[in-house]
Amino acid sequence: MEIIPLQIKEKPYVITFIGKETPEVTLFRFNPQDNAKIKFDPGMFVMVEYANASTKEKISRAFSIASSPTQPYLEFFISMIHGRFTSHLDTAKEGDIYYITGPYGQFRFVPSEEKKVLFLAGGTGLAPFMSMLRQIRDLGSGNDIVLIYSVKYPTEIIRKEELDELEKALNLKTVVTVTRPQEGDGWSGEKGHISADTIRKYAPDFNERTVYVCGPLGFVKAMKDAAEILGIDTSKLKADVWG
């Protein structure tokens, strides 16, 4: 199949899968209506547009691509917060058409260029890292990865089984930290927000790694503060903010 860059011009995409991934997050897959394979680097985002057929209202939002460029669809992890756009997605059905433009963004990962990396993910900020991990798996590029992933509750871990499989298949260490542990939730892993100490503990060779950060504004600010405490060179830190 011919590989062409995703056009900046909007293109119609068909929803081919909708699945409730966690209580707060829904997974969506969109296939290009023309089936042309999609070219992007993991880390990039697209604009997804909803157009109301009767009112002609148009509304679009940015979403980071969670699928790998090796996959034929675009996958997204979307927090269903009942805002303007996500309320439309709440009523979306498989077969519906949305328009997508992109890809956009400087937050890009090229496996051959960054052999040792530290990924810091907050909530649905896991999306670009999942794209990166899936590409590393599919290319067999053998990168050395530490992923520290912060979620509110154990039930909010996205793609838990796939993450476990990736950890077995890749040179990947995954640490999940739960910021709001509840009595009786059965969580025996790491608790609390990611800090400089968490990074020291799980990635003691952090100075040899390029650090990628993705999540909401508060999360990215906290990760930048932690990086400063650790003396991580800003040229080795790449961040994608959603706020």
Ligand X SMILES: Cc1cc2nc3c(=O)[nH]c(=O)nc-3n(C[C@H](O)[C@H](O)[C@H](O)COP(=O)(O)OP(=O)(O)OC[C@H]3O[C@@H](n4cnc5c(N)ncnc54)[C@H](O)[C@@H]3O)c2cc1C
| DSSP per residue, the chain | --EEEPPSS-EEEEEEEEEE-SSSEEEEEEEETT-PEEE--TT-EEEEEEE-TTT--EEEEEEE--S-TTSSSEEEEEE---SHHHHHHHT--TT-EEEEEEEE-S----TTT-SEEEEEEEGGGHHHHHHHHHHHHHHT---EEEEEEEESSGGG-TTHHHHHHHHHHTEEEEEEEESS--TTS---SEES---HHHHHHH-TTGGGSEEEEEE-HHHHHHHHHHHHHHT--GGGEEEEE--
- Provide the binding-site residues for ligand X, judged by CB under 6 A: 45, 61-64, 76-79, 81, 83-86, 124, 127, 242
**In the complex, minimum distance from the CB of residue 86 to ligand X, in angstroms, rounded to a whole number:** 3
Smallest distance from the beta carbon of 149 to ligand X, in angstroms? 14
In the complex with ligand X, the residue whose CB is nearer, 27 or 145, is 27
When the beta carbons of 139 and 241 are compared against ligand X, the nearer one is 241
Instruction: Work out how close the CB of 185 gets to ligand X at its nearest, in angstroms, rounded to a whole number.
Output: 23
Residue closer to ligand X (CB basis): 99 or 187: 99
Closest-approach residue to ligand X (CB): 83
Taking the least distance from each CB to ligand X, the nearer of 62 and 110 is 62
CB 198, min distance to ligand X, A: 23
